Amino acid sequence: MEDYIIKIFKESNQLKESFVNENLRRIVEVVEAVTTALKAGNKILLFGNGGSAADAQHIAAEFVNRFVIERPPLPAIALTTDTSVITSIGNDYDFSDIFSKQIRAIGQKGDVAWGMSTSGTSANVIKALETAKKIGMVTIGLTGRDGGDVARIVDYSLNVSSTSTPRIQEVHTTVGHVICEMVDFRLFQRPDNK
């Protein structure tokens, strides 16, 4: 069992390393896009299913509360948390509409729509991103496998080239943290934070 545990950690570390090597420029672009949106008074809307729903809530909390440094709260909303909205849309319309209807309700031009899908093929994530693009929102996709349709339709695609859902999610958590920290730095950099 110990050897298998070590193998899991090594796989996670290797995937993170290959991800940053493949996506470094795109991560910088995402940080700049999110920073620009927040500076302009816009907000971040995050969404996904299952573990990605939890990631959406996690990253929204990091923006709203604080991440590493003390700073004002930043406007971010996880579209995965309001069970009354989600279940009413799912019941009255279709599960594929649960995020897109929320985007239509509260998304505005210049806001950021940040969709997460380890497969890149989640119908409700794709529909929400398509809706966001029609509104004029900035679209970001965190995906896995080959990126699927999510990677093809977003402005900024960060894809984890793996078929292992747990390893993909581990990279998504790490890149979410990196984006939060870099946005904090870009918005609130202080002379002593070099």
- Domain edges within the chain: 2-188
The superfamily CATH assigns to domain 2-188 is Glucose-6-phosphate isomerase like protein; domain 1 (3.40.50.10490)
What's the angle, vertex CA 150, arms to CA 90 and CA 13, rounded to 5? 110
Radius of gyration over alpha carbons of the chain, in Å? 17
Q: What is the pTM of this model?
A: 0.95
Residues of the chain with pLDDT under 50: 191, 193-194
Q: pLDDT value at position 190?
A: 60
pLDDT at 193: 46
pLDDT digits 0-9 by tens, 142-158: 999 999 999 999 999 99
